[in-house]
Chains A and B, each alone.
Chain A
Amino acid sequence: MESLFTRYRNLLVLLAILLAQIIGLAVQVHRTDSGRNSVDPQDVAGVRLIRLWADEAVTPPERFFHASEQGAVDLWQNYLDLRGVRDQNRDLQKTIDRLRLEQASLLEDARQGQRLQSLMDFQQKYVYKTLAAQAIGSSGSDSSRVFYIDKGADYKLERDMAVITPDGIVGKVREVFPHSAQVLAINDQTSGAGVILETTRIRGILRGNAAGRPQIVGILPDQRIQPGERVITAGGDQIFPRGLPVGVVLGVAPDPDRDSFIDVIVKPAAHLDRLDEVLVITSTEPRFPADQQQDMATSEALKGAEADAIKEQQKASEIMAERLPGLTEPHPPSTTPASGQAPGKAQPGRDQAAPAAEPQVPKLLHPQHPDRFTPGATSLPSQNEKAQTPASIKTKPAPKSVAKPGPPASPSPAHSGGNPQP
């Protein structure tokens, strides 16, 4: 017996280790209701312990490397390479101002949408709070599109929290460790995100293929799906809030597994292969977050100030228009728009007969709000005004109720040119 073991020792050790691992695999895989095998999304205790050990072994060197890299980059960017920062800052400030105005204009639409949603008992979830995290490592395998971030349970991260960048969605938190977390990217084969095509409103599930390219699977062929169409999150998966950018349609390919279905290949909006800093959505609420509300208040104030300024300008121009004597036409031509011609255009027949009639002399237009400077105004100027405009006192007062003023007392030559008031 002993000699048998000695003779086949290598083989027996191999078989024992293989058997142990096969049993371990069998524990992790279960059959779903659809009859297909699947790995448990929630790891059993032993498996989670192994993952925790692996993470604890790999994360500290990764964190150290990343901190060193970040320190060098910060040293360069924050102290050595500051050329053009003022210009950039100025440009950014302009962009902020512009975006604030745009935000204010969109605010009304958003509020209207909220009112409609509340009527329909549907609550839109807004990104309420995010946590910035650094991507520090990967799985090391091209068949597993997961990466690690430097924040974990110590920052109250939880499973299934959405991970995004300002460009678009990235993935979701799959596993949380004490000081790090594992994120499943949207281009993994096992990922799934509810998305919708922005123009055609076709819904589908986004997941990755073997090459790590996200695609919307199980779509019925539709001629309307064109390259370049934007893809956004649908909000139905309870992970990603609705309306976040996902990417654009690159093209359509037949589904290899199911006939009569197609896969829509998507170019992700976020740079999934160049992830450095990501945002974890730690909270979503059916209202805007405080900082966004403050931004919107600022935007509204800015917009109000701008509207006031525009009003002031309009008012000033109206006052100027009123103060300037206008030209009016006491006997306008009988042509009306109803006769099929624009009022400003003269008919050829009439043009020929015009020289025979009274010569057309431009008349002063009737001001909308007559004041003391208006020819024929009734109000008497004050003593001070008397000294400044003695000529206006001599004008013949006209009754207020008269809509058509009398002929001007002394039309200036400048106004006889016939410039009509708008």
Chain B
Amino acid sequence: MNILGTDYRRDLGIRHYPLLIYALTPLAALVLQALLPHLLRGYAWFDLPLVVTVYFALVRRDPIQGTLMGAGLGIFEDALTHHAIGANGIAKTVAGFLAGSVGGRIDVENHTIRLTITFLLSLLSGAIYVFIYRILLGLDLQWSWLAELAKAVGTTLIAMVLYPLLDRTEIRD
């Protein structure tokens, strides 16, 4: 199946969702990201805002929208921590941009491809975050690849459940 060809891409349409979904899904992701680790006794090996960012960037096939959504959600996430605001924002900005750019070139209906992109972007987002914090800002931050890998797996598992649910809210002609 030709999933990268221009003709195939032209045939694909841009998805549309109700305004409420655009507004509530990111907010719900942020609230749950803050609430679930508290309920799960400290386990925060997932990134719900990244799942939402990647999803909407992929299905909307718009890098600018992905960039803006990633920046907004990342800054919001940073604001809930005690770290400097912007590190997560930059990481998710890049992730949203890449997802939006890739979305115009691949078959976003394919569930496996979407999950693979989510997994890779989660790893990339973690790497950018660590790079900014340790290299760019020169701040002390201990981290481990294993934790980042576990976080990417957790994010992908959540995406596996969330993407089909969000697909159902699409406005169809």
Judge whether B137 is part of the interface by a CB distance below 8 angstroms: yes
Q: Are A273 and B41 in contact (CB under 8 A)?
A: yes
> Bound state CA distance, A55 and B136, in angstroms?
27
Judge whether A22 is part of the interface by a CB distance below 8 angstroms: yes
Q: A213: shortest Cβ distance to chain B, in Å?
A: 11
Q: B57: shortest Cβ distance to chain A, in Å?
A: 11
Judge whether B27 is part of the interface by a CB distance below 8 angstroms: yes
Q: Are B35 and A17 in contact (CB under 8 A)?
A: no
Q: Are A21 and B90 in contact (CB under 8 A)?
A: yes
- CB-CB under 8 A from A175, the residues of chain B are 82
Judge whether A37 is part of the interface by a CB distance below 8 angstroms: yes
| Cβ contacts A303-333/B at 8 Å (1 or 0 each) | 0000000000000000000000000000000
Closest A residue to B46 using CB positions = A140
> Bound state CA distance, A14 and B76, in angstroms?
18
- CB-CB under 8 A from A18, the residues of chain B are 90, 93-94
Q: Are B147 and A54 in contact (CB under 8 A)?
A: no
Judge whether B85 is part of the interface by a CB distance below 8 angstroms: yes
Q: Are B82 and A53 in contact (CB under 8 A)?
A: no
Q: Are B80 and A209 in contact (CB under 8 A)?
A: no
Which listed residue (B41, B81, B101, B151) contacts A144, Cβ 8 A? Answer: B81
Judge whether A139 is part of the interface by a CB distance below 8 angstroms: yes
| Cβ contacts A22-40/B at 8 Å (1 or 0 each) | 1011001100000011110
Q: Are A189 and B30 in contact (CB under 8 A)?
A: no
Q: B153: shortest Cβ distance to chain A, in Å?
A: 14
- CB-CB under 8 A from A225, the residues of chain B are none
Which listed residue (A9, A136, A141) contacts B38, Cβ 8 A? Answer: A136
Q: Are B35 and A137 in contact (CB under 8 A)?
A: yes
Q: Are B33 and A140 in contact (CB under 8 A)?
A: yes
| Chain A interface helix/strand/loop/mixed | mixed
> Bound state CA distance, A276 and B83, in angstroms?
24
Q: Are A38 and B71 in contact (CB under 8 A)?
A: no
Judge whether B45 is part of the interface by a CB distance below 8 angstroms: yes
- CB-CB under 8 A from B136, the residues of chain A are 22, 25
Judge whether A396 is part of the interface by a CB distance below 8 angstroms: no
9-residue interface stretch from B7-15, B61-69, B111-119, B156-164: B61-69
| Cβ contacts A7-21/B at 8 Å (1 or 0 each) | 001100110011001
- CB-CB under 8 A from A272, the residues of chain B are 42
Q: A175: shortest Cβ distance to chain B, in Å?
A: 7
B interface, how many residues as a size bin?
35 or more
Q: Are A141 and B81 in contact (CB under 8 A)?
A: yes
Q: Are A22 and B93 in contact (CB under 8 A)?
A: no
Judge whether A297 is part of the interface by a CB distance below 8 angstroms: no
Judge whether A47 is part of the interface by a CB distance below 8 angstroms: yes
> Bound state CA distance, A47 and B82, in angstroms?
11
Judge whether B106 is part of the interface by a CB distance below 8 angstroms: no
- CB-CB under 8 A from A369, the residues of chain B are none
Q: Are B67 and A29 in contact (CB under 8 A)?
A: no
Q: Are B97 and A25 in contact (CB under 8 A)?
A: no
Q: B73: shortest Cβ distance to chain A, in Å?
A: 11
Judge whether B2 is part of the interface by a CB distance below 8 angstroms: no
> Bound state CA distance, A47 and B86, in angstroms?
10
- CB-CB under 8 A from B143, the residues of chain A are 143, 210
> Bound state CA distance, A148 and B144, in angstroms?
26
9-residue interface stretch from A56-64, A95-103, A123-131, A241-249: A56-64
> Bound state CA distance, A189 and B83, in angstroms?
11
Q: Are B34 and A28 in contact (CB under 8 A)?
A: no
Q: A148: shortest Cβ distance to chain B, in Å?
A: 8
Q: Are A10 and B101 in contact (CB under 8 A)?
A: yes
> Bound state CA distance, A139 and B49, in angstroms?
13
Say yes or no: A29-B142 contact (C-beta < 8 A), given A57-B27, A139-B82.
no
- CB-CB under 8 A from A174, the residues of chain B are 82
> Bound state CA distance, A134 and B136, in angstroms?
37
Q: A68: shortest Cβ distance to chain B, in Å?
A: 12
Q: B94: shortest Cβ distance to chain A, in Å?
A: 8
Q: Are A50 and B79 in contact (CB under 8 A)?
A: yes
Q: Are B67 and A17 in contact (CB under 8 A)?
A: yes
Judge whether A281 is part of the interface by a CB distance below 8 angstroms: no
> Bound state CA distance, A22 and B131, in angstroms?
13
Q: Are A53 and B79 in contact (CB under 8 A)?
A: yes
- 4 closest Cβ contacts across the A-B interface? A210-B142, A144-B81, A54-B79, A273-B42
23 sampled A-B residue pairs with Cβ under 8 A: A10-B97, A13-B67, A22-B90, A24-B86, A25-B86, A29-B84, A29-B139, A38-B139, A39-B83, A53-B79, A54-B79, A57-B76, A58-B34, A58-B80, A62-B34, A138-B35, A140-B30, A140-B34, A141-B80, A142-B37, A142-B44, A144-B81, A182-B82
Q: A21-B89, A50-B75 are in contact. List 13 more A-B contacts (CB 8 A).
A: A14-B67, A17-B93, A21-B75, A21-B90, A25-B85, A25-B87, A36-B140, A61-B31, A65-B35, A139-B81, A140-B44, A142-B45, A142-B151
